[in-house]
Amino acid sequence: MKIIESPYFFISVLVILNLVIAFSLLPYPLKLNGDAPTYLAAMKFLQGREYDKADYDENMEVFLKTRILTTPLMLYSSIALGKLAGGEYNGMLLVNIVFYFLIIFIFYKLVYLIYQSHRTAFCGAVLFFTNYAMINYGVTYRTDIGGWFFFLLTTLLAVKFFNNPNNKKNYYLAILSASIGVLFKEYGALGMIPLGILILFLPENFLNRMKKILKAAVLFLIIPGFYHLFIYWRLGFSYLNWYGFSFKEVINNPAAPGIDWSFLLLIKILGWLFLAGWPIFIFGLYQEYRNFNKERAKILLAILPASVSFLAWPGLTQRIAFILVPWLAMISGYGLSRLKKKYLIAIILIIYVLINYLTRPWLMEIINI
């Protein structure tokens, strides 16, 4: 009975059910398309094995170097589990399933830490993990969910440090989390932004705050910095090469229709990204205004810049923009939690989930990835 009465029991059941439904009714995540073949080639390369170059285009060398540069820990984790699961793709899927459960748990803890309400954390978590992009790009043959996880983990630790600056452990753990996370996927570094902004909000003199931020930046760069230098030494390739390649391939390139930067495309992507959640988000913002909390506002403000960092990338895609969904979901969850009638909350969540599931078959045909 204690397990059933736990605030984590029902959400755990829904998390498992969501995964089962996704794999049963939504076959898209398990298709070997998009970036998936490039990750397989990179894993074979790291093991000293040949990959069939005929299966890839003339840009394969750039993609291979990029995967090794930006996702080494994800690649090696997939290789390791793949030895037990019967192949690299199976290993990657298992790693992502583990991250699926971990990221939802961390997100729940983050929302609870900010709002001190299990109802808010529950509502926010459901809005988060039933978002179609979580399944389409998370629990699949891609590497994004690992970066998302470390972004939220670092943010959680940063908020803990903000709430109790005397506990330096969370400060150092946040830095370590980002340093490791960025080697799973670039998103993993984004938690350093909330950490830096929250340090600026601390009630200390300006010089001390600047020292903390500078120290955090230096410590963060040690692990990924040495790794990037090593890759540049061995492969002659840096993140500037990857960004420059992406910029050239996307911006004003007729061969890459649908992802070139435009305000209209941004509106389309953001509209589809949260879909039925936008009215809930607007209501959540209204509730934040009505029940304004200065400390909570600081935390939400600190998380926002990292959440919109996808705007700095040359191409606009749903997958990259998903980094905004956690911020939208936590505010939306707060809005729902302010409703007094539980059945009304349940109805709204069910409608949100059904729209995500039912629009999925044709949704991916009219938007980019």
pLDDT tens per residue, range 9-24:
899 999 999 998 888 7
Give yes or no for a contact between 131 and 173, defined as CB atoms under 8 angstroms apart: no
Identify the pLDDT of residue 252.
62
Give yes or no for a contact between 334 and 291, defined as CB atoms under 8 angstroms apart: no
User: What does the pLDDT look like over 259-277, one tens digit per residue?
Assistant: 566 788 889 889 989 989 9
- Beta carbons within 10 angstroms of residue 48's beta carbon: 6
Q: What is the pTM assigned to this prediction?
A: 0.94
Count H helices, E strands: the chain? 20, 0
Total number of domains in the chain:
1
Give yes or no for a contact between 285 and 332, defined as CB atoms under 8 angstroms apart: no
Percent of the chain with pLDDT over 70: 89
Q: Which residues, in sequence order, are CB contacts of 208 under 8 Å at separation 6+?
A: none
Identify the pLDDT of residue 30.
63
Q: How far is CA 127 from the centre of its chain?
A: 14
Task: State the residue range of the domain holding 309.
Answer: 2-366
Q: Per-residue b/e over 295-329, b at no fewer than 16 CB within 10 Å?
A: eeebbbebbeebbebbeebbbbbbbbbbbbbbbbb
Identify the pLDDT of residue 327.
99
Identify the pLDDT of residue 342.
94
Mean pLDDT by 10 residues, the chain (369 residues): 72 93 68 79 90 70 93 97 92 96 98 98 98 87 95 99 96 99 97 98 96 98 98 96 87 61 84 93 98 98 98 88 98 97 96 85 54
